[in-house]
Structure 1
Amino acid sequence: MLPTPDTYNQPEFYAPWHVHLGTGDISPRRLHLLQAIEATGSMAAAARQVGMTYKAAWDAVEIMNNLAGVILVNRQHGGKGGGGATLTGTGMQIVTMHERLSAMQAMWMASLDHTEADILPLMRRIKMQTSARNSFYGTVQSIKKGAVNAEVVLKLQGNDHIVATVTSDSIERMNLKEGATAWALVKASWVVLASPDCQGKTSARNTLCGTVSRISQGPVNVEVILELQGGNTLAAIITNSALHDLKLSEGVKMCALIKASHVLLGVDH
């Protein structure tokens, strides 16, 4: 069960509305993006409303989906504009809470019931910003300790897992244990893409497979977004020549290889 607001410091409210919970703020821009998606049903239109580029809006949505641990925005493929976008039930809950916050102001905290309070920690997670393109939120499934390092298996949404190698000192410092929640951060440049048919053995501890959902080409490098089987999305930066060699396009099945030492772990506390 997610922690209730009593777990955190007493919230303080500011205008334009964001919530300060002592350890971080809920980004109003991301909340406004969710509102715009609900109002327009279009990612392109929502991006224009909040002053984002189309790519930046999808980047923000993919990060929010990953960090929330559940899907907040569904992507609908097709059409010249890349299809539509709709909020899931959880996404709608977040938007509804934000609108109530704006309307009820100081009375809002007194009006929260237990179910609504459970959404607060989720809202804290989706505002996190890091230099790592890939941010995942999950539950520690197992910890295998060695003399110096430890192997941590983090269960993500669906049946996806990601393995990280950290020092034993980090395990103690972050108070990591089975059942605890944690972040996994991976830079897009650390992700290696390979065909699912590739039979070669690699030293990468993580193999996450899915479908290419988006490709953004630049003059030298290409950003490839992979939609994993469990619902998370993962970004990889590859060269244009690699894009050509792998014959990548939207809808192609692909696997992401990530070394366990390239996975950074973090916790809320």
Structure 2
Amino acid sequence: MTRERGIPVGEFIAPLSLATDMGEISPRRLALLTAIAGTGSISGAARTVGMTYKAAWDAVDAMNNVAGAVLVQVQHGGRGGGGAQLSATGRKVVDDLARLQSLHGQFMAQLKAAGDLDESLMLMRRLSMKSSARNMLLGTVESLRDGGVSTEVNLRLTGGDSLHAIVTRESAQELGLAPGREVQAIIKASWIILAMGDDNIRTSARNRLCGSVTRIVEGDVNAEVVLALMGGNTLAVIITRQSLDELGLQEGSQVCALIKASHIILGVSL
């Protein structure tokens, strides 16, 4: 698709994010763009898509920057705080998005009519997620406790292990976290502390996941230790060679991974 001057803005890619030379505009931000076209204001659009007012403003600034052209024109002041409208480029993005959503819906309906693909499609969405963190665990939100600034999220991992994460209240709202929501728990290997399974120690770490060592990869300074948790998940941990020697770890050792709740990053599929 193009801007007014005929310069490419980017290409829509499934699941209908807009890929430009400077980055991607996510489906959630595209929904905000559509809502701005319908409501004529950033505050109204934020309410429509379930964003905070600040997050919506940040998203508008990011979209204008990433697109390389003004998509949203903002009018400041006036009763009600002014308004917002789409530029010609912004309207074309929204129009193209609507057409693609319609075609995408027809295509998916045809696929489903040919066979039950729901489970395979869900699996492919999980596998497509990329992260620099070594550990990505699938879980379901069991409960949330709002603490004003932060929210404690209690997860049940596949296999039955439980995990507790602390995220900001704004993040919990933007991710749409609620009981039953499927999430990815992302944990960097270097954030995990190992303790022997028979150590009766008390720590401030909220999470204690126990299992057995299945693999050790030794380096000059650090070592990677891979655990098989009781629930069936695997967990990779980076520790120093000195810690490896002091703990006397070997394949089959029973150990526990200690993880602070604030060291867990949560992600959801859009």
User: Structure 1 length as normaliser, TM-score?
Assistant: 0.59
Matched with 1:80 is none
Alpha-carbon distance in structure 2 between the residues aligned to 1:23 and 1:214: 39
CA deviation profile, 1:160-203 (whole Å, cap 9, x unmatched): 11110011111111111000111111100000000111112100
Secondary structure of 2:154's counterpart equals strand
Matched with 1:128 is 129
Inter-CA distance 23–186: structure 2 relative to 1 (3 Å threshold): farther
For the pair 1:173 / 2:185, whether they are aligned, the reply is no
Secondary structure of 1:243's counterpart equals helix
Matched with 2:193 is 192
Matched with 1:22 is 16
Deviation at 1:221, TM superposition (A): 0.4
Alpha-carbon distance in structure 1 between the residues aligned to 2:17 and 2:189: 26
The higher-RCO structure (CA 8 Å, 6+ apart) is: 1
For structure 2, the residue ranges without an aligned partner over 5 or more in a row are: 1-11, 19-109
Secondary structure of 1:118's counterpart equals helix
Alpha-carbon distance in structure 2 between the residues aligned to 1:143 and 1:192: 25
1:204-219 mapped onto 2 (5 Å cutoff): 204-219=205-220
Alpha-carbon distance in structure 2 between the residues aligned to 1:154 and 1:112: 35
* Contact 2:125 2:269 survives alignment (8 Å): no
Deviation at 1:112, TM superposition (A): 3.6
Alpha-carbon distance in structure 1 between the residues aligned to 2:144 and 2:131: 25
Secondary structure of 2:214's counterpart equals strand
Alpha-carbon distance in structure 2 between the residues aligned to 1:179 and 1:245: 42
Give percent identity, aligned residues only: 47
Alpha-carbon distance in structure 1 between the residues aligned to 2:199 and 2:112: 57
For 2:167, the aligned partner's letter is V
For 1:244, the aligned partner's letter is D
Alpha-carbon distance in structure 1 between the residues aligned to 2:112 and 2:165: 41
For 2:266, the aligned partner's letter is L
For structure 1, the residue ranges without an aligned partner over 5 or more in a row are: 1-10, 13-19, 25-107
Matched with 1:113 is 115
Matched with 2:203 is 202
Matched with 2:183 is 182
CA deviation profile, 1:18-56 (whole Å, cap 9, x unmatched): xx44369xxxxxxxxxxxxxxxxxxxxxxxxxxxxxxxx
Secondary structure of 1:200's counterpart equals coil
For 1:177, the aligned partner's letter is A
Secondary structure of 1:182's counterpart equals strand
Deviation at 1:111, TM superposition (A): 6.4
Count of equivalent residues: 169
Q: Which runs of 4+ in 1 moved over 4 A?
A: none
Alpha-carbon distance in structure 2 between the residues aligned to 1:23 and 1:177: 24
Secondary structure of 1:109's counterpart equals helix
CA RMSD of aligned residues (A): 2.2
Q: Which has the larger radius of gyration?
A: 2
Matched with 1:153 is 154
Matched with 2:43 is none
Secondary structure of 1:151's counterpart equals strand
CA deviation profile, 1:132-183 (whole Å, cap 9, x unmatched): 1111111101101112111101111111111100111111111110001111
1:32-51 mapped onto 2 (5 Å cutoff): none
CA deviation profile, 1:105-147 (whole Å, cap 9, x unmatched): xxx9366412x33211111211221011111111101101112
